[in-house]
């Protein structure tokens, strides 16, 4: 039983170290000259979206998160990484 608990803690630590796949995607979009508007839109109580614009489709939802905090954190990371 203790071994199972230890694996759960290891899994949690591993997941915390995984990069945010949506953030990586947003970074790729920015590198490809997409425009991220820098705001978060509430889709419903458990869905928050970052939107922007791409040449082919215009305004689009670029990433979705479960909470406002997650979406805001992603924007902060994105703009912090791309401001230099």
Contacts of residue 3, defined as CB under 8 A and 6 or more positions apart, other chains included, come to none
pLDDT of residue 81: 59
How confident is the model over 16-38, as pLDDT tens digits?
556 688 889 888 888 888 888 88
Distance CA 84, CA 71 (A): 21
Q: Is the pLDDT of residue 3 over 90?
A: no
Q: What is the pLDDT of residue 18?
A: 63
pLDDT 10s digits, 5-20: 444 444 444 445 566 8
Q: State the pLDDT at residue 37.
A: 85
0.85 cut: is pTM over it?
A: no
Q: What's the CA gap between 84 and 38, in Å, rounded?
A: 17
């Amino acid at each position: 039983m203790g071994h199972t608990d230890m694996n759960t803690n290891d899994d949690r630590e591993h997941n915390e170290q995984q990069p945010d796949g949506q953030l990586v995607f947003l970074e790729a979009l920015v590198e490809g000259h997409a425009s991220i508007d820098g705001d978060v839109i509430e889709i419903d109580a458990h869905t928050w979206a970052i939107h922007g614009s791409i040449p082919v489709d215009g305004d689009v939802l670029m990433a979705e998160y479960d909470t406002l905090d997650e979406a805001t954190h992603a924007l902060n990371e994105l703009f912090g990484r791309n401001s230099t």
